[in-house]
Structure 1
Amino acid sequence: MKNPYILALISGLLLAASWPTYGISLIVFIAFVPLLLAEYSIRKSEAKKTNRRVWLVGYTTFFVWNLLTTWWIYNSTGFGMLFAVLVNSLLMSIVFLLYHLVAKKFPPKIHYVFLPAIWMAFEKFHLNWDFSWPWLNLGNVFATSTHYIQWYEYTGSFGGSLWVWILNLGFFNLVLKYIATKSLKSVQKRLVFNLLWIAIPIVISLLIKSNYEESGKEIEAVILQPNIDPYTDKYYTTNKKVAQILMDMAAEKADENTEIILAPETVFAKSFRINDFSEDYTMYRLRTFLKRYPKANLLAGTSFIDVFHDPKEITSQSNQYNENTWYNDYNSAFFLNATTDSIPVYHKSKLVVGVENFPFKSVLEPLLGNVMLDLGGTVATKTTQEDRTVFSADDYKVAPVICYESVYGEFVSKYIQNGAEFIAIITNDAWWGNTQGHKQHLNYARLRAIENRKSVVRSANTGISAIINQTGDIQQTLEYGVQGSLKGKIHLNNKVTFYARYGDYIARVAVLASALILLFAFTRKRKL
């Protein structure tokens, strides 16, 4: 076989070539095959220190993949990009090394189960720990090919991860068979079998989509895209001025039928005192404006701060200002109408690593000090909430999903379990510039629409703002880098899909399977 490092490089390039939004998703079904061939050749060789070689080969693949698909983080911070690429590649290569160790001890019927299982266990782990970065979870690869994966309403994105590994292992075995026999005829049946594994899920998906009809009440939404530069303007613009910008923009599209007006994440960047928020003059002005539109509610993002002096109130997410003063900092959404004095609030709970949370703060902060990365106008740890708040209007219930949270499938499904009838995503993707970053983020929202069969309205500060229907089709967009607004109708839906009800059940099975195989592998001394 060829040099394993060349094979590893090919796999990295194929993975990048499959990734949204510039890639061709079907390439992913063969992307791991060169890497698997490299591992196989090393494992079957008589060379010593195969573990180190497999790790280096795996790291080559994953470094190329991570670099080519997430280099755009560099626009916010060079260090952050290097950290994300290097560490994520390291974690992926360790997972692949575990596969190599198991493959040396067990026959294919076991280690071919272990590889998808340990990879999905890793993806599940990556959704929940302090350094969470699930951007490259394999199920996300179909974000621009939603006609292939309408069955995500039953499996979630982990169904896509499993599909990818089944096909890669299938084509890998086909190649091994051909290498052994040098006969195309000998692999015809395997080829047909693999092609059916591609075709059948796609046909099922197309049938689901062709028979799916949006039903239920329609409501009118107005989505605002103020296009305020976060590097030069956002954190230097008063809340009073921002409110005027939003009101002027909304007035261009809103009418007596408008039921929700959506504004971006932390559009009010000057932190309100959380206890005085309802009485703030800016809220008074917005309430007065909303009286023109009797059905309308404003869902917008804001920063909050809660200053306190009692050490008993300190939590793991609190920040110290000086010797006797602490504060909690929030990235939040609020829901305002013209008639209600109280203003419901939701605090963002899936935080961007190094920007909004200090990973393993209790351990690392005493050692390193405050080394938070300034990626978003703040270096303070954000305070989160445990439950998913659903905002209720007279005629609908909406999930307020803030920015990075939209990448987390099971997390978003908790809003649906709490009664949300559609999803509102508010975000600020300007940190990455006009790159693949904000485009990938938009398309990941399409996966949430399918998983939950919910319409999505998306307000992004600099774009891309959008309306997405329940089958993941983008109905309207407002391009990146312009100020403007969208107006459209969306369907409400109180259905709870199989995935929304049961979440990442495939990943939980994978965690159990991989743990059992690992336990068995490392308690055995010889290969079966």
Structure 2
Amino acid sequence: MIEKIIQKRLNRWLLSILSGILLTVSFPETGNLTPLTFLAWVPLLLVESYFHSKRKAFSLFLQAYLAFFIYNVGTTWWVYYASEGGAYMAFFANSLLMALTFLVYHLLKRKLGSKWNGPILICVWLSFEFLHFHWELSWPWLTLGNVFAPRTSWVQWYSITGVLGGSLWILVMNLLFYKLIIRPKNLLRNTYFILSLLILILPLCLSLILYVSKSTEGIPYNVAIIQPNIDPYGEKFVLGNEEQLKSILDQADQAVSKETQLVIAPETSLYPTSKIYETGLRKETFFYVINEHRAKWANAGLLIGATTFQVFDYKNSAASKFIPPLNAYVEDYNSSILFDNTPNPKIIHKSKLVLGVEKIPFVGMFPFLEELAVEMEGGSGSLGTETEPKIFEKNRVKFSPVVCYESIYGGFLAKQAKNGSQFIAIITNDGWWRDTPGYKQHFQFARLRAIENNKYVVRSANTGTSGIISNRGEILKQTNWWVKDQFNYTIQLNSKQTLYQVLGDFIGYFAVVGFGMFLILRILRIFRRKRN
């Protein structure tokens, strides 16, 4: 019956559309129908099976592109509000990359044989997702494992595997259900049915065991969270810098208690219409204003975001821009600044930058792209980054400062936490996306970072969702959208490392090795054929 269905061209297009829809509605905040993720690939795999013995790779590519285009637009349409160019990149280019990845899987499977179907798909797709965390066009928002963000009780084992473990689970389950459909027989005697049940249930059981055994207790540490609710399309760049800072500090005055040790304010909320010279930071008026308020807070620290710059007499990185009047190079940063009891504020720069907005890809190889992008879009081009993951330390308490987009990079946060971090502090401004699934997805993904690192997550957003997330990924407190708010909360510090922090994205590395082995095997067969 299945063979008759996929013989018709219209049915194959409908199956591709079905895969796109299932991928979309199973994703966080665009449906939240998480169980459907275990079936979402099956229609597309059925389409691929039709083309297995046919030389119509381009036809398969088009149908796969349709499925992934629906997936990309259906889950990330809100990017358009923040960046029109970024939206087109997310929709068209990312769909293209996904379709090409699926095509590579098809071509390898066709040449090496259907018996390698599962291993090839797993290695090829996980290699793509792993690459998407690390290359110039990085956009890992749609990593398959992110789908479990609202179901953290299912994936407590992310503390071992990271988010790629979820991607692996999804692919294996889809492959098994695909086998069940193309080889229907008595379910109780069907090996694939028994395997499906085991691979579905065992991870859930492991997650339950880890959930119950994981302690949420630690060293008490009180934080005050500020949500200024300043419109990023209007007030943020119209109101005076002093007025905005005063509002934030007044909110902090209300939120701070005698136990508060750290106040956390959002990304780029310190003098948002200005770039702050890092070397001259102590000379700025706000330095003294902040310290006056800190004196009222029993010297609690302040973590706040700002746009900063540094001047060099040499080209420090690809982001350094030569300024003729200064006869020097200037490098801009999206920074976290910690004001504490030390003489000089501490600064850590954002390292995972938003493509197109904060980073122009491939400028190291093609420097002219930077100038071209600035002329076309305006702005200052690429920002500078840190050379390695860094953390802050205040009164012997260490924590990871995470700015906005960085929070979807599990491997990056794991490297930060490995440096001794005891909790994760995310500062962000999600208001660019308006009241859409975007800021909700971003908040949900932070729950996965909590599990991966066994750390509490505290989150301060300008106009998105601020909140507290436990090391189990449970939401303990969260604010509403488009509301000026502040609160304090006592989290629990934890210095224990997880296996994921030690091993990193080992699943990704194994997938790349496996992909490489399949490519080598294919090349060897080509040489053998030529020799014969």
The question of a shared fold, defined as TM-score above 0.5 by the shorter chain, is answered with yes
Give, in whole Å, the separation in 2 of the partners of 1:363 and 1:413. Answer: 29
Give, in whole Å, the separation in 1 of the partners of 2:359 and 2:399. Answer: 26
The 1:374/1:393 distance shift into structure 2, 3 A limit, reads: farther
Count of residues in correspondence between the two structures: 516
What does the per-residue CA deviation read over 1:14-58, in whole Å, with 9 as the maximum and x for residues that have no partner? Answer: 1001100232111111110000000001113xx4x4211121121
2:47 is matched with 38
Bigger Cα displacement from structure 2, 28-37 vs 289-298: 289-298
What does the per-residue CA deviation read over 1:463-485, in whole Å, with 9 as the maximum and x for residues that have no partner? Answer: 20010000000100011111111
Residue 14 of structure 1, aligned match among 4, 8, 22: 22
Q: Is the 8 A contact 2:61 2:100 kept in 1?
A: yes
Tell me the CA shift for residue 315 of structure 1.
2.7
Consecutive unaligned residues in structure 1, runs of 5 or more = none
What does the per-residue CA deviation read over 1:146-203, in whole Å, with 9 as the maximum and x for residues that have no partner? Answer: 010001101111110110111011011111102xxxx455864422321221111112
TM-score under structure 1 length normalisation: 0.94
Residue 242 of structure 1, aligned match among 239, 244, 260: 244
Counterpart AA for 1:411: F
Give, in whole Å, the separation in 2 of the partners of 1:432 and 1:64. Answer: 19
Tell me, what secondary structure is at the counterpart of 2:463?
coil
Matches within 5 A, 1:463-482: 463-482=464-483
Residue 254 of structure 1, aligned match among 253, 256, 262: 256
Give, in whole Å, the separation in 2 of the partners of 1:35 and 1:187. Answer: 26
Consecutive unaligned residues in structure 2, runs of 5 or more = none
What does the per-residue CA deviation read over 1:42-84, in whole Å, with 9 as the maximum and x for residues that have no partner? Answer: 113xx4x421112112111111100100111111233321221
In the alignment, does 2:121 pair up with 1:115? yes
Give, in whole Å, the separation in 1 of the partners of 2:395 and 2:449. Answer: 25
Q: Is the 8 A contact 1:355 1:373 kept in 2?
A: no
2:331 is matched with 328
4+ long deviations beyond 6 Å: none
Give, in whole Å, the separation in 1 of the partners of 2:47 and 2:135. Answer: 31
Counterpart AA for 1:58: A
Counterpart AA for 1:430: G
Tell me, what secondary structure is at the counterpart of 2:39?
helix
The 1:472/1:462 distance shift into structure 2, 3 A limit, reads: same
The 1:192/1:394 distance shift into structure 2, 3 A limit, reads: same
Compute the RMSD of aligned alpha carbons. Answer: 2.0
Matches within 5 A, 1:480-519: 480-519=481-520
Matches within 5 A, 1:81-100: 81-100=87-106
1:415 is matched with 416
Q: Is the 8 A contact 1:333 1:347 kept in 2?
A: yes
Tell me the CA shift for residue 372 of structure 1.
5.1
Residue 301 of structure 2, aligned match among 283, 287, 297: 297
Bigger Cα displacement from structure 2, 339-348 vs 105-114: 105-114
Residue 156 of structure 1, aligned match among 157, 162, 181: 162
Give % identity: 37
2:141 is matched with 135
Give, in whole Å, the separation in 1 of the partners of 2:369 and 2:461. Answer: 37
What does the per-residue CA deviation read over 1:195-220, in whole Å, with 9 as the maximum and x for residues that have no partner? Answer: 22111111211121122221221111
Give, in whole Å, the separation in 1 of the partners of 2:253 and 2:391. Answer: 26
Q: Is the 8 A contact 1:407 1:444 kept in 2?
A: yes
Give, in whole Å, the separation in 1 of the partners of 2:57 and 2:380. Answer: 40
Counterpart AA for 2:251: M
TM-score under structure 2 length normalisation: 0.93
Q: Is the 8 A contact 2:363 2:369 kept in 1?
A: no
Q: Is the 8 A contact 2:20 2:68 kept in 1?
A: yes
Tell me, what secondary structure is at the counterpart of 1:163?
helix
Matches within 5 A, 1:51-200: 51-178=57-184, 183-185=185-187, 188-200=190-202
Q: Is the 8 A contact 1:80 1:373 kept in 2?
A: no
Counterpart AA for 1:51: A
Q: Is the 8 A contact 2:225 2:255 kept in 1?
A: no
Give, in whole Å, the separation in 2 of the partners of 1:218 and 1:9. Answer: 50
Tell me the CA shift for residue 367 of structure 1.
5.7
Matches within 5 A, 1:343-422: 343-366=345-368, 369-371=371-373, 378-422=379-423
2:210 is matched with 208
What does the per-residue CA deviation read over 1:256-289, in whole Å, with 9 as the maximum and x for residues that have no partner? Answer: 1101100001112221111101232101110111
